[in-house]
Chain A
Amino acid sequence: NAGVTQTPKFRILKIGQSMTLQCTQDMNHNYMYWYRQDPGMGLKLIYYSVGAGITDKGEVPNGYNVSRSTTEDFPLRLELAAPSQTSVYFCASSTRGTGELFFGEGSRLTVL
């Protein structure tokens, strides 16, 4: 049982480039989330999904897109990367609302 797996762990992007952060979970969780973590700012929700085919915006969705075609996968797409998107990104899943969040190991993204 691998839990929540994110790739890549580290990535450096140039301004204007695009990329996809991959997230997979093998716990059959319906709920999946993408957070970004900036120093001293806690965790901010970017997008979330309550099941395959359903996604919704969180607190800071601008500049990002997501899709949820399967229960297992929840990729995060960055279009036209900007320095403000330099951050650590965490994918998380839970079996239900108001339950424990299981986080991936994080992906450190730098935009130069």
Chain B
Amino acid sequence: GENVEQHPSTLSVQEGDSAVIKCTYSDSASNYFPWYKQELGKRPQLIIDIRSNVGEKKDQRIAVTLNKTAKHFSLHITETQPEDSAVYFCAASLTGNQFYFGTGTSLTVIP
């Protein structure tokens, strides 16, 4: 099956700085890559996703890039704010029947 690796496991940034989280996947046939944010004690919620026919996608302060050749994708958060503090999970899917999640990155934004 698919194997998704996520780095770093923890990340601390000053408010206003940028944060980057990276994921790699093993199955070159995977074609859908969502990112989920999970605040403490809450359910994961989708923040952005990208499909394999697109190289980059942006939504306000959040962007995702995909390099199919290298089999990696990254989440970029600019102008970080304290409310961005959470655990972020990347995932990869081929058919949508199974989503393979990374192990998560705990992001702390220091005011």
Contacts and interface: CB of A to CB of B under 8 A. Distances in A.
Contact of A105 (B34, B43, B97): B43
B97 A50 contact: yes
B9 A43 contact: no
A76 B43 CA distance: 18
Interface string B18-45: 0000000000000110101000001111
Q: Which of A31, A42, A98 has the most chain B CB atoms inside 10 A of its CB?
A: A98
A75 interface: no
A101 B49 CA distance: 11
B98 interface: yes
Contacts of A98: 31-32, 51, 93, 95-96
B99 A45 contact: yes
B46 interface: yes
Interface stretch (B56-64, B66-74, B75-83, B101-109): B101-109
Given A43-B89, A104-B43, A58 B96 contact: no
B43 A106 contact: yes
Contacts of A97: 93, 95-97
Closest 8 CB pairs of A and B: A97-B96, A98-B32, A98-B96, A103-B43, A42-B101, A43-B101, A42-B103, A100-B46
Interface of B: 1, 6, 9, 31-32, 34, 36, 42-46, 49, 51, 89, 91, 93, 95-104
